[in-house]
Structure 1
């Protein structure tokens, strides 16, 4: 279990897409053991430096997994309980934990549970739905039976070896529902980690009212790419100020990509600035996650249409030997993998970063110096989006260069305060 959930670094994967499963389930069809296709990639995840797999939905559903019909059954397109047990065991052999994705705001139309658990508006002929999607029917969170059902599901899979849960569409569920459910589960699994999907609103208030450990940090995600595209680091500074306020209460789940958004390599207007986004992601507080394929510079656009998620949820090859520095990948993929690996390594060497707060010590539209610290420990991240080198007007006399986006930068006594055009640097500030 996650004894130190805040220090986790997740590799987030959408299993139905990764394994090439059919888009629609066939009720009563044969069990296909596709979940096993993740096992050969576990060494890749461990080499990257991540400490766990955050799985997308794996439970019986009608189509994309978020229309669950049975939370106690593995989707037949992916396998069965034995396949899940194998994956947990194989992950643990490599020091990796498993987080599951649970959809408890709504279910599919053919939900196997009690239809009396579904919510109706007074006098309505049909059930309430999630954001107008006819096939996603809302659960009635005011019912004790629904609370007991969800608590039983959470505990069941934690009993089988999961270490935590991502709670999909948590923002649509009353916070008091989680506050009633989670204590029952924590009594049996005190080290389990629970993160809710929250997009807008007061993140800290939702955490406090719900009893969750964390929520998704969409504000920082948006600022990561938008501030770089607009050459407006004031936006990033504003987001980091809000982010630091959150860290006083909890460690948000941070990310540059996930299964619901256009990939970061596609989103950025200038590919030279990918390193800037990652440098920020891995040096500010929170619990970072990497969306599968982002570490290989994969591209994909999220479109608002039926099937619009397909490009960002692709199948991966069965043989992972093609994926790193073997020479079989394009240079950009090898370089991006190595960049992720180096930055994750830095993050793991400084686990205190998970709850550290960031202040801005220099700020202009195209240049920023960020200082993330906790007590005597501090990391300084220098960002230069300009087409010219920039010398940062800050005291770096005690700082030691840890990582940089420019080969050879800072070596052989070079001035660490000077960052090349479109460059970035990370320095460790040693105590006096």
Structure 2
């Protein structure tokens, strides 16, 4: 196999994406909310980490009843986060550091405070009435797809007193769904995309993409469900030929391929929920088979399509791609108490507490993430093993602020604790006095230093982003052996168990060590003595 022509390789295939919840990242003015100026002050950390792309979670005007995914105005920055000048300053500062910026864009629904909905509910003859989905009476099945159970009143229809009708909401009642069959809605959303692309962003992460065209309300009757995605792709590429669309589409493997488009003309990247589920199942069992099976069941995708791999994000760790018995195995391993679980399908903990704060297991997990072919996605705080606060409701538990130092407020904010957007973790091994960026910078064995080193190795070996992944017999069911090849190849062994194991390579000729846990031993042959939760990466040059 010959190496791909670098000029033909899309930039996102060897990029690293870093997700930032601006309001929880760094507070520049002491009001308890992180803001754009605070993010600017921490861009040197982002650059030093080795990432390429900032994915900003919603920064639009919002009541923030659902972490900003309840948008009240797509064209206005929430004043608690900053203003237009702050955004322009962020774009300039990011550009100076070689960082791209993409925005989270929830298009399936708005806040009930959005001007569109306010005008729609006030007047049945308003042009905005048909922006949403209305009924005079409840349908026979008022709960076709309840995402959050009783948290959304157990159904998908809510009565609006002012409108005198029921409206449809896939998610919470304060998030009415937009009518995707209405061409005026698509035109308005295209204008939103153009607005931000013209301000310099490099694309969008699209929230809840399946619900943009799956007619769970039975009212939309969209004749060509993928037309909206194709049209959006054309709008985005017309403004910026290098811009990307990254989709949240948590579906079964056979349902994923269409999101890329028949001709690769819809999404460029899909978040890899399916592989994430099977990676956690493999770690729970200490077995390579689920990880290998999960990968092999993924569909073939277009040449310019890409999987965006991740371990945790700002939501629950949704395990709905596993069977019920498999899900219970993962719960037992990583969230044994019911209060650690949510919605009957997910875990509301961050990764570090799930793994007991064991740095060996954390390094193993990130080694898996970075060595499985694709574009890795890290959520802010993962680089230091940030903890969680299970006293907070639902998914809020895994959205606590970044911890920069052992100063009061963890360096996130100088505001009193009760004025912070969310409280900083104070007590225990994940409290900010023990766990913070400054402390880990000084510790060469820290998770932060390892992730920085591993990202550097990832960037020096672009085949990890754009190559072809395959698996080989490692000689032990608890050891995952895989390779990623695009001319040159990277071969990796991972010990998924807490005991020393021997891993077997196919061929030792031409191998060069790239990265390891520091305790595993390779003496030049085909056998590698892997420490508990150990791993070893090798480079093999093309002949």
2:529 to 414, 419, 429: 419
Cα distance in 1 for residues equivalent to 2:14 and 2:441: 32
Residue 120 (structure 1) shift: 1.8
2:200 to 161, 185, 196: 161
The aligned residue for residue 371 of structure 2 is 283
SS in 1 for 2:473: strand
CA change 1:391–1:183 in 2 (3 A) is closer
TM-score, with structure 2 as normaliser: 0.71
Q: Deviations over 1:337-396 (max 9, x none)?
A: 11111111111112232222211111543112101112x211101012341230415212
Residue 416 (structure 1) shift: 6.2
1:171 to 205, 210, 217: 210
Conservation of the 8 A alpha-carbon contact between 2:403 and 2:436: no
CA change 1:244–1:315 in 2 (3 A) is same
| Structure 1, 264-273 or 333-342: larger mean CA deviation | 264-273
After TM superposition, the structure 1 = structure 2 runs for residues 204-219 of structure 1, keeping only pairs within 5 Å, are 204-208=257-261, 211-219=266-274
After TM superposition, the structure 1 = structure 2 runs for residues 339-418 of structure 1, keeping only pairs within 5 Å, are 339-363=450-474, 364-374=476-486, 376-386=487-497, 387-392=499-504, 394-407=506-519, 409-410=521-522, 413=523, 415=525, 417-418=527-528
Residue 397 (structure 1) shift: 2.0
Conservation of the 8 A alpha-carbon contact between 2:306 and 2:375: yes
Conservation of the 8 A alpha-carbon contact between 1:419 and 1:425: no
Number of aligned pairs?
417
CA change 1:163–1:203 in 2 (3 A) is same
The aligned residue for residue 27 of structure 1 is none
Q: Deviations over 1:228-287 (max 9, x none)?
A: 121121000011213473475620111122111332222336832222221221122221
Cα distance in 2 for residues equivalent to 1:293 and 1:326: 9
| Structure 1, 251-260 or 177-186: larger mean CA deviation | 177-186
Cα distance in 2 for residues equivalent to 1:194 and 1:420: 39
CA change 1:232–1:408 in 2 (3 A) is closer
CA change 1:256–1:354 in 2 (3 A) is same
2:275 to 211, 220, 223: 220
The aligned residue for residue 7 of structure 1 is 14
After TM superposition, the structure 1 = structure 2 runs for residues 182-221 of structure 1, keeping only pairs within 5 Å, are 182-201=233-252, 202-208=255-261, 211-221=266-276
Cα distance in 2 for residues equivalent to 1:87 and 1:60: 18
CA change 1:316–1:171 in 2 (3 A) is farther
CA change 1:270–1:126 in 2 (3 A) is same
The aligned residue for residue 128 of structure 1 is 168
Q: Deviations over 1:186-209 (max 9, x none)?
A: 212211111111112322222226
The aligned residue for residue 119 of structure 1 is 132
After TM superposition, the structure 1 = structure 2 runs for residues 42-191 of structure 1, keeping only pairs within 5 Å, are 42-63=43-64, 64-113=67-116, 115=120, 116=128, 117-124=130-137, 125-131=165-171, 133-174=172-213, 175-191=226-242
Conservation of the 8 A alpha-carbon contact between 1:67 and 1:106: yes
Q: Which runs of 5+ in 1 are unaligned?
A: 22-29
SS in 1 for 2:173: strand
Conservation of the 8 A alpha-carbon contact between 2:91 and 2:101: yes
Could you say what the CA RMSD is over the residues aligned between the two structures, in angstroms?
A: 3.0
Residue 10 (structure 1) shift: 1.1
Conservation of the 8 A alpha-carbon contact between 1:228 and 1:273: no
The aligned residue for residue 315 of structure 2 is 260
The aligned residue for residue 26 of structure 1 is none
Conservation of the 8 A alpha-carbon contact between 1:52 and 1:99: yes
Cα distance in 2 for residues equivalent to 1:359 and 1:314: 38
TM-score, with structure 1 as normaliser: 0.88
Cα distance in 1 for residues equivalent to 2:10 and 2:270: 18
Please tell me whether Structure 1 or Structure 2 has the larger radius of gyration of its CA atoms: 2
Cα distance in 2 for residues equivalent to 1:307 and 1:298: 18
